[in-house]
Amino acid sequence: MVRRKIFFAMVPALVLAGCTSSPVRITPPRVNQGGRALSIAVASNNDQRMVVASETGGLFRTFDGGKSWQHLEGLPNFRTIDVAIASLSPDTIVATTQPQYRTINDGGIWRSTDGGGTWFQATNWAPSPSSTCPNRPGAFGISNMPLSHTFYVGTDCGIAVSNDDGATWSPVPGVNTRIRSVLVINRTSGVAAGDSGLWFLDQNGVWTQSQNIGTPGVPVTHSFASPWFSGTANVFFLAAADQTLWLSTNGGAGWAPQAAPSAPMREAFVRIGRSLQNDDSKFELYWGDGTHAQEDLLGQRSDERWKLDRPRLRS
């Protein structure tokens, strides 16, 4: 088994000015009160091109793998939550924001088709204001369904979906609660986490509430990970609100706790990558509970079915 150590560092508030095609170097980066980096999106056609969403500093992009950065001044909202680059249209970027309480609500879903230079606020993604949908709704986690132009976004009013890389949106029927995290693999495989519990897509493509795992607290924006590229669409890992790790092997309908370090610190996260051994019957699992950062190699193919080893996570 091949392992490697993973190092994480707090990066000073990200960077800069201008929306030209040439990066502007600022050393060190300077954005007053920019807050934490919350999300990183990498272009599918160029791993040196990334966009980062910061807590209170808006969006930043790099063309050289992070050596220099630009602040995307075209986005008028600085309370960014998540960002994603369309996998099949790398010049298209989708970002989510929370409202800054200006005259016109600037929270919700934003889209750029020129790599982040100019931005347009999406419409029609939220139902009419009600007891479950505020007058000034915002949005949270983003999922670009693999190998497709389809996006799902968790919002203050439920889940919004777009089938054209964010050009048009509509609310998903049946989910009438705040959703903070969502991950969709295909039309009948997906999971979501909200203030009122967990959801999954059933065999008919209908969002249904799943097992109540009883974890207190507010779900994190990036709660889920899946080894979908390894030939399975029913396996999901969950970083729960109480910094515990859970596993589902039935598409999110039921969850089982995993033996992993747990500390009540900042938000947990879970990520999955391709095997470092170039073996698509296995995958790399990365888990962080707010204090520890862990890595392990999991999964093996047998008789066309996936069998998962119990996570052998280590400090």
CATH code at 53? 2.130.10.10
Residue in the block written with tokens 């982040």: 116
Number of domains into which the chain is organized: 1
pLDDT by residue, tens only, the chain of 315 residues: 333 333 333 333 333 333 444 444 544 456 665 678 899 999 999 999 999 999 999 999 999 999 988 999 999 999 999 999 999 999 999 999 999 988 889 999 999 999 999 999 999 998 888 888 999 999 999 999 999 999 999 999 999 999 999 999 999 998 989 999 999 999 999 999 999 899 999 999 999 999 889 887 888 899 999 999 888 889 999 999 888 999 999 999 999 998 888 887 788 889 998 888 888 778 889 988 877 788 776 765 443 345 555 445 443
The answer to whether residue 265 sits within a structural domain is no
Look-up of token digits 């790099």:
62
Classify residue 112: in a domain, yes or no. Answer: yes
Residue environment code for 97-115, b if the CB has 16+ CB neighbours within 10 A, otherwise e = bbbeeeeebbbbbbbbbeb
Range of the domain at 72: 1-176
Considering the domain boundaries, does residue 229 fall inside one?
no
Residue 21 lies in a domain: yes
Is 120 in a helix, a strand, or coil?
A: strand
Cα of 45 vs its chain's centroid, Å:
19
Q: How many residues does the chain have?
A: 315
Tell me, yes or no, whether 315 lies in a domain.
Answer: no
pTM of the model: 0.85
What count of Cα atoms within 13 Å lies in the side-chain half-sphere of residue 261?
17
Please report whether residue 142 resides in a domain: yes
In a domain, 146, yes or no: yes
In a domain, 226, yes or no: no
